[in-house]
């Protein structure tokens, strides 16, 4: 099964992706993670991506589509995968349809008013875990692996505003795109805990 995780920044895609990967054994492919690894490694792709990411804009489609197209040819993607953060506009979705078969698009729907606080209070670990400062009780290390938590460079109010604008204008139209293909499933992520959201996802994916 190949699925897309759709949702605004801060909707909890990364958190749900870890849970889905664990239960359904789907490979988690996050374009954001790929870009951040490239930035850390000082690669050419990283150099191109950094200025766009810092501005809350989308990295050019040519770069992004090539990365995903290549990643899907790796052996570990043969048994099903979950795309997190791709596609992010109609062009990318149309390109994806040329080189992949997608079974389902899971949209994590969340009220915009909740997003700014969620993202700006987010602390992440390099192992993939994500927390909110309000639940950390002052802890600075990951409860899962013990590594130091950090704040993503683009999780600041100014960049988040730009990322939300980008989402609304470029990514949200994908909801209708996948609806028209009969592949859309929506789960609501209000104030509910990640576990409650995951329960809804399990209902969609089957136990």
Q: What is the DSSP letter of 147?
A: P
Q: How far is CA 169 from the centre of its chain?
A: 17
Instruction: Name the helix (H) or strand (E) containing 65.
Output: helix 61-71
Q: Which residues contact 2 (CB under 8 A, 6 or more apart)?
A: 80, 81, 82, 83, 100, 101, 102, 103, 104
- Which of 36, 50, 118, 122 is an active site residue? 122
- Which of 36, 88, 118, 123 is an active site residue? 88
Binding mask 4-33 for ligand AMP (x = CB under 6 A): -----x---------------------xx-
- Which of 71, 152, 179, 183 is an active site residue? 152
Binding to ligand AMP (CB under 6 A): which residues in 138-197?
154, 163
Binding to ligand AMP (CB under 6 A): which residues in 59-98?
59, 64, 85-86, 88, 92
User: What whole-number distance in Å separates Cα of residue 139 and Cα of residue 133?
Assistant: 9
4 versus 26: smaller Cβ distance to ligand AMP: 4
Contact 18/28 with Cβ under 8 angstroms?
A: yes
36 belongs to the catalytic site: no
88 belongs to the catalytic site: yes
Q: Total number of residues binding ligand AMP (CB under 6 A)?
A: 17
User: What whole-number distance in Å separates Cα of residue 76 and Cα of residue 160?
Assistant: 33
Sites of contact with ligand AMP (CB under 6 A):
9, 31-32, 35, 52-53, 56-59, 64, 85-86, 88, 92, 154, 163
Task: Give the residue numbers annotated as catalytic, written as ranges.
Answer: 13, 88, 122, 152, 163
């Amino acid at each position: 099964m190949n699925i897309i995780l759709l949702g605004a920044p801060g909707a909890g895609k990364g958190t749900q992706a870890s849970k889905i990967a664990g239960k359904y054994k789907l490979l988690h492919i996050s374009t954001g993670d790929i870009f951040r690894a490239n930035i850390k490694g000082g690669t050419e792709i990283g150099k191109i991506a950094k200025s766009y990411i810092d501005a809350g804009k989308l990295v050019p489609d040519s770069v992004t589509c090539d990365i995903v197209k290549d990643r899907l040819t790796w052996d570990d993607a043969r048994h099903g995968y979950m795309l997190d953060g791709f596609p992010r506009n109609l062009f990318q979705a149309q390109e994806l349809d040329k080189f992949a078969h997608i079974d389902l698009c899971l949209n994590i729907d969340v009220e915009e008013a909740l997003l700014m606080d969620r993202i700006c209070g987010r602390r992440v670990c390099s192992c993939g875990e994500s927390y909110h400062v309000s639940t950390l009780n002052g802890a600075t290390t990951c409860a899962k692996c013990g590594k130091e938590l950090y704040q993503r460079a683009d999780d600041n109010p100014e960049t988040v505003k730009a990322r939300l604008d980008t989402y609304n204008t470029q990514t949200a139209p994908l909801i209708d795109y996948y609806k028209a293909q009969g592949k859309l499933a929506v789960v609501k992520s209000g104030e509910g805990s990640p576990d409650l959201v995951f329960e809804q996802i399990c209902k969609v994916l089957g136990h």
